[in-house]
Amino acid sequence: MARSMTEEEKQLVHEMLRRARAAMTVAFEFHQEKVDDLCRAVSWATANEATFVALTEMSVAESGMGNADGGKTRRFKIMGILRDALRQKSIGVIEEIPTKGIVKYAKPAGVIASLLPVTNPLVTIVATAINALKCRDAVIFSPHPASRRTALETVRVLRETLRREGVPEDLVQCIDKPSIPVAQELMAICDLTVATGGAAMVRAAYGSGKPAYGVGAGNATMIIDETADIAEAAKNSRISKTHNNGSGCSCDGNLLVEDSIYDRFLEQLRKEGGYLVSPAEKKLLEAAMWDAEGHRTLDTVARAATKVAERAGFKVPADTKFLIVPESHIGKEHRFSGEKLTTVLAIFRYQSFDTVLDMVDQILEVGGKGHSTGIYTFNPDHIRALALRAPVSRITVRQPQVSANAGSFTNGMPMTASLGCGTWGGNIVSENISVKHFMNTTWVSVPIPEDKPTEEVLFGRFFNSAIIPVSAPAPL
């Protein structure tokens, strides 16, 4: 049973909110150049190589999850989020539509409550700080207890940067002793919550009584059809599956491979460092990765493939990068068809494209609906068919999923650390959370020439058609 919040904790959270609102009063007078300069300052303070490496290593050491070398490559994410932020206006007039007599003005959203994931506190903190500062918001972070020290140190660096720039440090704050009651109170009193983490966290954010952006669960499912470049697809699958030890919700989870190229593709995966588990090893792996109630075991989440295999009770070569599990069944009872969040990849065989579209639907019903899928193909009809059918917010074509659907320098997706999954995933938005989600807008409307079509035009062929008589109401 969850404990109640103490009076001391309540006073602390409310004091943080008071300081955040006071800091926002100062920030409201900032001009566009000022907030852009602050975005650059906090980005450099954390994304410079020395600091980013130190904080990444701290995060892995503290949580035991992820991979320091893989995590270091996430510097590009901060730079990309900064790039996108600098290219947008966030103060004053941000859009004009003369034909409609509309002018839009940007205003701050308010004090943001940011709930952090255990596996990626660094990038999530900086991404949120960039977007919040860009819009003259303040943000209070609530870290996961298992990555608390990393979050506090990252926020300390951000606060020191703001102090050096002569602006209120309290635009960025972090809860020192996180807990569920404290997080719930924070969400209840702030103006907007951004929740990046597990399903329980997102449900709590939506139940806080305040507006919230949440993210849905991932279970990235990739189609490799008969036209695919097998070497490219296998390499990208390895990149995506092993990034930060498979901790990201965008890491490849399931590969659906066309029958005629299945064997060649599987061999290419082995060349990329994949280890094909035997039927006996598959049983051991399932027992190690899920407990009796079907919950993922934390000591196999975001761990190296050799460690996962060791935990399961079998050995793999020391240079193994990921484990490949052949699968032919889909459903909640077939656990490898769901999200794995580690260096384990399920591989399926399919015979026709209509069949594989059905398989994607079935897998997404197990988990990951609304999040993302991808395809390796040079057949535009296959891309179109998948786009029309799949209940996901983003589809990548011939790209490593983990570094593509959250934005990259080689595609046009907005850079983000939080991926909305639409109503499919229980979220309010089906796009990448970015600057526009951190602001309010005021629409100013002036008169325009009348734009009123005739009834004949509006009703088309139904105009003057037979009218259905209205029946007299039945007696009460």
Tokens 């959270």 belong to residue: 13
At residue 2 the predicted structure's pLDDT band, cuts being 50, 70 and 90, is low
Residue ending a domain, among 406, 421, 451, is 406
Torsion of CA 151, 152, 156, 159, to 10 degrees: 70
Is residue 415, in this structure, part of any structural domain at all?
Answer: no
Instruction: Please report, for the domain that includes residue 284, its CATH number.
Output: 3.40.309.10
The pLDDT tens digits for 59-114 are 999 998 888 776 667 899 999 999 999 999 999 999 999 999 999 999 999 999 99
Instruction: Please report, for the domain that includes residue 159, its CATH number.
Output: 3.40.605.10
At residue 119 the predicted structure's pLDDT band, cuts being 50, 70 and 90, is confident
Question: Are residue 211 and residue 226 in the same domain, yes or no?
Answer: no
Looking at per-residue pLDDT, the higher value among 458 and 196 belongs to 458
For the question of residue 190 being annotated catalytic, the response is no
Cα–Cα separations (whole angstroms), residue 212 to 187, 207, 208: 9, 9, 8
394 backbone φψ class: left, alpha, beta (φ>0; ψ -120 to 50) = beta
The pLDDT tens digits for 124-179 are 999 999 999 999 999 999 999 999 999 999 999 999 999 999 999 999 999 999 99
Question: Are residue 205 and residue 231 in the same domain, yes or no?
Answer: no
The pLDDT tens digits for 298-318 are 999 999 999 999 999 999 999
Is residue 472, in this structure, part of any structural domain at all?
Answer: no
Is residue 2, in this structure, part of any structural domain at all?
Answer: no
Q: Which of 202, 192, 116, 198 lies closest to 151, judged by CA?
A: 116
Is residue 280, in this structure, part of any structural domain at all?
Answer: yes
| φ and ψ of 200, to 5 deg | -65, -40
CA-CA-CA-CA torsion sign (399, 232, 217, 259): positive
Cα–Cα separations (whole angstroms), residue 337 to 218, 352, 368, 397: 12, 19, 10, 21
Is residue 420, in this structure, part of any structural domain at all?
Answer: no
Cα 101 from Cα 122, distance rounded (Å)? 43
CB 219 within 8 A of CB 367: yes
Cα–Cα separations (whole angstroms), residue 468 to 417, 455, 458: 54, 18, 19
CA-CA-CA-CA torsion sign (342, 150, 425, 287): positive
pLDDT, position 72: 66
Is residue 471, in this structure, part of any structural domain at all?
Answer: no
Which residue type does 292 have?
A
- 434 CB-side CA count, 13 A: 23
β-pair type (221-224, 370-376): parallel
pLDDT, position 357: 98
Question: Are residue 348 and residue 394 in the same domain, yes or no?
Answer: yes
pLDDT, position 421: 94
Alpha helices, H only, 48-118: 49-63, 68-72, 75-86
CB 133 within 8 A of CB 42: yes
Report, as an integer, the average pLDDT of 262-287: 98
Question: Are residue 248 and residue 194 in the same domain, yes or no?
Answer: no
pLDDT, position 202: 80
Question: Are residue 112 and residue 234 in the same domain, yes or no?
Answer: no
Question: Are residue 77 and residue 102 in the same domain, yes or no?
Answer: yes
- The domain in which residue 47 lies consists of 7-215+433-441
Count of domains forming the chain: 2
Q: Quote the DSSP letter at residue 29.
A: T
Question: Are residue 180 and residue 233 in the same domain, yes or no?
Answer: no
Residue 203 CB-density burial (10 A; 0-12 exposed, 13-18 middle, 19+ buried): middle
Question: Are residue 190 and residue 65 in the same domain, yes or no?
Answer: yes
Contacts of 227 (CB under 8 A, 6+ apart): 377, 378, 379, 382
Contacts of 319 (CB under 8 A, 6+ apart): 273
Q: What SS3 string covers 33-50? A: HHHHHHHHHHHHHHHCHH
Question: Are residue 206 and residue 240 in the same domain, yes or no?
Answer: no
Question: Are residue 41 and residue 174 in the same domain, yes or no?
Answer: yes
Report, as an integer, the average pLDDT of 276-295: 96
Question: Are residue 166 and residue 286 in the same domain, yes or no?
Answer: no
Share of the chain above pLDDT 90, in %: 89
- Quick check: 217 pLDDT over 90? no
Q: Which of 39, 135, 174, 249 is catalytic?
A: 249
pLDDT, position 111: 98
Question: Are residue 198 and residue 238 in the same domain, yes or no?
Answer: no
Is residue 461, in this structure, part of any structural domain at all?
Answer: no
Is residue 454, in this structure, part of any structural domain at all?
Answer: no
At residue 281 the predicted structure's pLDDT band, cuts being 50, 70 and 90, is very high
